[in-house]
């Protein structure tokens, strides 16, 4: 009851004139960011973050989270019209979306994708509204040891649930931690891994790393393939929209299934990318129209889009209630909280009520605004893709460079961005996942601090991580997730051996 | 991943010059070589981390608890172990896949070199003039645009950036002699 009241107050805050303007601006920018290759959710938010330093935190997060919603919507446009996923999470949308466009059903595919996204997002927000306050009030009892255990759980579930080589996920996490450690140690004041360089004393700013890893590297990948865009025309007529909406109830089961998958994958840091593939795969297996998948089946668009958005939205649940982001973009937003002077974690729900509920209310409104805007403006954004790449690429790189510079007014950071661009390019091609690195970079210092406080409190006794039921359950759960993959591999191999003998 | 495979059927929206087709028989760097190089580098990096962490103390100090190298050194050991593991995997890997072909690499270099020059020019010329040169240079290298399109893009985009960042958001970006002469 109390929460509903708080949410209503949040709506009041989010519905103020300038916040609505920020929301619309954010969604529009987000769609541009989602449509253009080389600018995505994480680095779109990273580039704009420095511009919000002086803003009121609530307005700032409304602007930035709206960019996130816009990017989630925008990714679908290029997937369907150009068969080029604007974002990794919309790869699965190309499988059926592009064939539909080829058959002249682009409007139907786009409407389906946007509506599915909206439904997924609203499910995610509902989950946040209902569950986040409970998680936060539960987490108020956490001490440093419990927090470290939750961090450990996050990192282990990355390794356990990732689709890449587990060694490489682990390496990516470790690099994130080590990058976070560079610079002055906040507890002792010692210089760590600076090798006498004055520039490294500040450490690596995660925003610079994100812009390089996700922005510059993406451009390099795009030129390597020598892409030229040649797309289908798009115009969405109101009748098509209504006809597609009328079909929605028929696909109820698919939508519910994808929502569930997405919410689960978002809360545990599996992320929107894995969720969209899982949503697609499950729909294909269980749908009556399964054999038509890949040939332009509307369910093949609905399933991944719903799952991706449900995951993308749910990723903010652990970020708000525990201070642990569920995706790379959520990690960037979390970094933003710290820059605006808010302490992420369960106390946020107690101390920053206005901020939290304003944000949650803006999630409902932002997604609604996003749906309307995106349905109205598709032709406009499809036109962006007709601008020659030779013009778009330097513009994106210029924006990246400006973004990297404004974080700390340092030209050295632009060089770092370039370096991380090359690292990101090589890592992507070798299947080292980048999201764990960003997550570990953002959380590294906090995880280390929790660990050191816990150890200090116990006088150096590692037993503090098994001292009570809560912390030992978390640790056991984390280790189970970590070892789940190798053990199930081993069991499969053993079973295979038995079968062949 | 059957879902991924089905994507190959409708590739015609992507126009790829013949020499950039990964299937074509062109020279390039093998993926195995690249995997070995990178994991080898990571092993070295891991060793460096350990040297530094133990150098500043990775043990226990009375009063402060774990010393500042405590946590990085533990992460460093895990990092080193995983890097060695991936290195071993890379060495045992069959060398059939191509990491990047020479024509692809040239494409990437055509972007990277102008980008590096651009970053180098930001300090002496200011970001706006450097951006104008970068945009013009990039469009010339990529080709396909007429000279007045190039000139217009290279002037208008930095001006737009100036308007947005300097005038609207009041974010000071690096400026050079031209801005100085104009009184900013």
Within chain A, which residues score under 50 in pLDDT?
none
Query: Residue B30's beta-bridge partner residues?
Result: B98
Of B56, B75, B119, the CB nearest to A174: B75
CB B72 within 8 A of CB A192: yes
CA gap A209, A203 in Å, rounded: 11
Distances (CA, A) of A332 to A324, A348, A480, B56: 11, 17, 28, 31
Question: Over 50: is that where the pLDDT of B136 sits?
Answer: yes
CB A25 within 8 A of CB A66: yes
- Tens of pLDDT, residue by residue over B2-50, are 333 333 333 334 444 555 555 556 677 888 888 899 999 999 999 988 8
Which long-range CB contacts under 8 A does B5-9 form with residues at least 24 apart? B6/A95, B6/A293, B6/A294, B7/A91, B7/A94, B7/A95, B9/A294
pLDDT value, residue A143: 82
Cβ-proximal residues to A345 (8 Å cutoff; 6+ apart), any chain: A139, A322, A323
CA gap A257, A263 in Å, rounded: 10
CA gap A297, A460 in Å, rounded: 59
Tell me the CA end-to-end span of chain A in Å, nearest whole number. Answer: 63
CB A353 within 8 A of CB A132: no
Helical (H) or strand (E) element with A363:
helix A353-384
- Interface check for B72 against chain A (CB to CB < 8 A): the answer is yes
Decide if A193 and B52 are in contact by the 8 Å CB cutoff: yes
Range of the domain at A88: 2-500
CA gap A317, A344 in Å, rounded: 12
Return the half-sphere exposure (C-beta side, CA atoms, 13 A cut-off) of residue A310: 30
Residue A56 dihedral angles phi and psi, to the nearest 5°: -65, 135
Decide if B142 and A405 are in contact by the 8 Å CB cutoff: no
Domain residue ranges in chain B: 28-96, 101-182
> What pTM was estimated for this model as a whole?
0.81
Question: Mean pLDDT over residues B105-126, rounded?
Answer: 90
Q: Which of A8, A3, A5 is nearest to A364 (CA)?
A: A8
H-only helix segments in A211-297 = 217-224, 238-247, 252-267, 271-286
- Interface check for B73 against chain A (CB to CB < 8 A): the answer is no
- Tens of pLDDT, residue by residue over A65-98, are 888 888 888 878 877 887 776 666 777 888 888 8
pLDDT band of residue B1 (cuts 50, 70, 90) is very low
Give me the residues of B, 117-176, that contact A with CB < 8 A. Answer: 118-119, 122-123, 127, 131, 134-135, 138-139, 142-145, 149, 153, 157-158, 161, 165, 169, 171-174
pLDDT value, residue A490: 80
pLDDT band of residue B55 (cuts 50, 70, 90) is confident
- Count the neighbouring beta carbons within 10 Å of the beta carbon of residue B9: 12
Decide if A181 and B75 are in contact by the 8 Å CB cutoff: yes
Looking at the structure of chain A, the number of domains it has is 1
pLDDT value, residue B115: 92
pLDDT value, residue B9: 36
Of B38, B66, B75, the CB nearest to A426: B38
Query: Residue B100's beta-bridge partner residues?
Result: B29
* Angle formed by the axes of helices B102-125 and B127-142, nearest 10°: 160
Decide if B66 and A456 are in contact by the 8 Å CB cutoff: yes
pLDDT band of residue B83 (cuts 50, 70, 90) is very high
Q: Residue A226: its chain B contacts at CB < 8 A?
A: 16-17, 20, 107
CA gap A79, A72 in Å, rounded: 12
Give me the residues of B, 4-33, that contact A with CB < 8 A. Answer: 6-7, 9-11, 13-17, 20, 31
pLDDT value, residue B6: 37
As given in the structure block, the two tokens for residue A263 are: 């919410």
């Amino acid at each position: 009851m109390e929460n509903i009241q708080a949410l209503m107050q949040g709506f009041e805050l989010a519905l103020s004139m300038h916040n609505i303007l920020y929301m619309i601006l954010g969604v529009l920018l987000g769609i541009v960011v989602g449509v253009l290759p080389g600018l995505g959710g994480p680095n779109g938010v990273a580039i704009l973050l420095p511009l919000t330093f002086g803003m009121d935190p609530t307005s700032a997060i409304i602007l930035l989270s709206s960019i996130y919603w816009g990017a989630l919507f925008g990714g679908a446009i290029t997937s369907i019209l150009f068969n080029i996923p604007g974002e990794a999470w919309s790869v699965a949308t190309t499988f059926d979306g592009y064939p539909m466009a080829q058959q002249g059903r682009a409007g139907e595919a786009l409407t389906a994708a946007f509506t599915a996204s909206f439904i997924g997002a609203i499910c995610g927000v509902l989950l946040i509204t209902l569950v986040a306050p409970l998680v936060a009030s539960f987490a108020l009892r956490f001490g440093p040891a419990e927090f470290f255990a939750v961090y450990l759980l996050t990192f282990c579930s990355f390794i356990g649930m990732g689709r890449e080589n587990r060694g490489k996920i682990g390496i990516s996490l470790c690099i994130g931690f080590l990058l976070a450690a560079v610079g002055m140690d906040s507890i002792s004041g010692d210089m760590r891994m600076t090798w006498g360089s004055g520039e490294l004393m500040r450490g690596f700013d995660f925003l610079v790393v994100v812009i390089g890893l996700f922005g510059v590297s993406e451009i390099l990948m795009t030129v390597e393939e020598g892409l030229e865009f040649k797309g289908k025309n798009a115009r969405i007529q109101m009748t098509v929209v209504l006809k597609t909406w009328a079909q929605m109830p028929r696909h109820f089961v698919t939508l519910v299934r994808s929502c569930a998958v997405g919410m689960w994958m978002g809360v545990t840091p599996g992320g929107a990318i894995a969720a969209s593939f899982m949503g697609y795969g499950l729909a294909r297996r269980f749908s009556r129209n399964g054999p038509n998948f890949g040939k332009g089946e509307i369910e093949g668009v609905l399933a991944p889009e719903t799952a991706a958005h449900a995951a993308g939205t749910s990723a903010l649940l652990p970020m708000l209630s525990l201070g642990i982001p569920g995706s790379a973009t959520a990690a960037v937003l979390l970094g933003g909280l710290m820059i605006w002077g808010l302490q992420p974690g369960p106390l946020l729900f107690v101390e920053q009520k206005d901020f939290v509920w304003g944000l949650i209310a803006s999630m409902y409104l932002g997604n609604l605004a996003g749906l309307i805007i995106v349905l109205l403006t598709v032709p406009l954004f499809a036109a962006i893709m007709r601008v020659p790449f030779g013009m778009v690429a330097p513009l994106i790189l210029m924006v990246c460079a400006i973004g990297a510079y404004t974080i700390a007014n340092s030209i050295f950071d632009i060089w770092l961005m370039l370096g991380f661009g090359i690292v990101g390019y090589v890592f992507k091609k070798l299947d080292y996942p980048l999201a764990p690195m960003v997550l570990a970079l953002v959380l590294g210092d906090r995880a280390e601090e929790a660990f050191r406080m816990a150890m200090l409190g116990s006088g150096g006794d590692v037993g503090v991580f098994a001292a009570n039921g809560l912390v030992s359950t978390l640790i056991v759960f984390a280790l189970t997730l970590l070892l789940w993959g190798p053990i199930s591999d081993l069991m499969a191999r053993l079973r295979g051996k038995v079968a062949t003998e | 991943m059957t879902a991924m495979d089905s994507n190959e059927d409708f590739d015609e929206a992507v126009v790829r010059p013949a020499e950039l087709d990964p299937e074509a028989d062109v020279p390039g760097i093998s993926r195995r070589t690249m995997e070995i190089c990178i994991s080898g580098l990571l092993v070295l990096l891991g060793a460096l981390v350990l040297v530094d962490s133990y150098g500043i103390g990775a043990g226990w100090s009375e009063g402060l608890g774990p010393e500042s190298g405590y946590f990085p050194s533990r992460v460093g050991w895990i990092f080193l172990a995983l890097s060695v593991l991936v290195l071993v995997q890379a060495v045992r890997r069959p060398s059939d896949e191509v990491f990047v072909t020479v024509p692809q690499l040239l494409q990437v270099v055509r972007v990277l070199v102008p980008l590096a020059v651009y970053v180098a020019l930001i300090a002496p010329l200011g970001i706006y003039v450097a951006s104008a040169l970068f945009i013009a240079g990039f469009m010339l290298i990529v080709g396909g645009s007429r000279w007045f399109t190039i000139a217009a893009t290279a002037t208008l985009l930095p001006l737009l950036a100036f308007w947005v960042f300097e005038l609207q958001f009041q974010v000071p970006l690096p400026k050079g002699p031209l801005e100085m002469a104009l009184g900013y």
